Amino acid sequence: MTRKFWTCAVVLLMSVLVIRGTGLAQNTTAPDQLVSLNCGTLIDGNTGQARSNVTIVVQNDRISEVRAAKDSKANAGAVIDLSRETCLPGLIDTHTHVLLQGDVTAADYDEQLLKQSTEYRAILATVNVRRALEYGFTTIRDVETEGAGYADVDVKKAINNGVIPGPRMQVATRALDVTGAYPLLGYAPNVAVPHGVQVIDGTDEARKAVREQISHGADWIKVYSDRGYKVRQDGVLDDIPTFTPEEMKAIVDEAHRERHKVASHAIGLQGVHNSVEAGVDSIEHGDYIADEDMKTMVTHGTFYVNTIYVGAYVAEGRAAAGSPVWVKMLSIHEDTFRRALKSGVKIAFGTDAGGFPWTENPAKEFAYMVKWGMTPAQAIRSATASAAELLGWSDQVGTVEPGKFADIVAVPGDPLKDITTLEHVDFVMKNGSVLKKP
């Protein structure tokens, strides 16, 4: 046999190994060929209603038609049988950290920043974005790298260029906080240590940092608005605000001037209030939100990204490490969530994946949202149409309808009856490519 033959054979074998190594099925459909997904049930994201026996026609990376199966004389192109499945829009997680592997304790966090290089953390991130896809999340917003600089921009670029499999991403790069407020902390003053954020002080530094991050690829600006949590006697979760109101307003003004949005890590009373007054676009975590601030959020259309599961996951560990307030914060968070739901605050699904290990399925968040008062339909909408609205991508993702990206997942059950079904996604299509099959 010729040398050319063996060279081709080796290249083919290596390609197969690379594909198999991803853990994801690959789309073998030729360009321009139509694909028909025959769904037993469809929850399209527009309403809370389920439709039976629906065919979704996909052409290239877009949905071209959604119709009742009985209206189709013949399926178009290749056919994928999902007749025993419930199909949904690709899920969206609006609060992740793909460069973080869990930080229940300060030691977990310190070890990652002190012992893992940015390059190694970026390699782990490529595994995490693949996992996100396998869980059914075809879109994510990654709200900062926790000390890994602008590595999230490169992960996003690698996905967009087809180098690695992963969700479509919006990224927030380095995030912002003030001197002395964010880990790493507690080391001797003469020991220089890295920090998980870009440290700034004053309005001039704030504006400069926003410009810098946007110039290096930030889609969002992330701010840490509070720290040092304690429960007052009246049950209010108090905090120590980080930025002054003037600094917060400068950050928001500069970001909005450059047509970018601001996400605020705000857990307690004052952090939330300062963030809402400054005009941020989303409150992240929001364990306690005062009623007046909720009214302002409704008026301004400010989103609430509640991240319940991570609080439950880290509570016991942090309590054991000397911070019992995290256990008390869970009941406060539940009350806040129920009040926000009743008041009409916009809620978008977010998990803080990375705050807990990526080996944990972020879809566990859904069960907490339903337990705390949402209907399954509302919880699904928070991770589809509502999440797409927060990202400004309502015209591209979030619902199953013609013209949108063919991001579709399926589960073997009815999530409107049992929301935990969403923890068992067994079909994933992103951009018309089948990445996981039952």
Q: What is the pLDDT of residues 378-416, one digit of tens each?
A: 999 999 999 999 999 999 999 999 999 999 999 999 999
Same domain, yes or no, for 161 and 193?
yes
What local confidence, expressed as pLDDT, does residue 360 receive?
97
Region of residue 324 (phi > 0: left; psi between -120 and 50: alpha; otherwise: beta): alpha
Query: For position 228, which CATH number holds?
Result: 3.20.20.140
Domain final position from 309, 331, 360: 360
Flag whether pLDDT at 23 surpasses 90: no
Q: What is the pLDDT of residues 45-90, one digit of tens each?
A: 987 789 999 999 999 999 999 999 876 666 668 999 999 999 999 9
Q: Flag the least confident range among 74-78, 308-312, 314-318, 410-414.
A: 74-78
Distance of CA 21 to the CA centre of its chain: 24
Q: What is the pLDDT of residues 198-210, one digit of tens each?
A: 999 999 999 999 9
Do the domain assignments include residue 164? yes
Total structural domains in the chain?
Answer: 2
What local confidence, expressed as pLDDT, does residue 298 receive?
98
Same domain, yes or no, for 288 and 408?
no
What local confidence, expressed as pLDDT, does residue 423 receive?
98
Same domain, yes or no, for 111 and 153?
yes
Range of the domain at 248: 92-360
Domain final position from 360, 377, 411: 360
What local confidence, expressed as pLDDT, does residue 12 receive?
37
Q: What is the pTM of this model?
A: 0.92
Q: What is the pLDDT of residues 217-272, one digit of tens each?
A: 999 999 999 999 999 999 999 999 999 999 999 999 999 999 999 999 999 999 99
Interval 355-361 mean pLDDT: 97
What local confidence, expressed as pLDDT, does residue 26 receive?
44
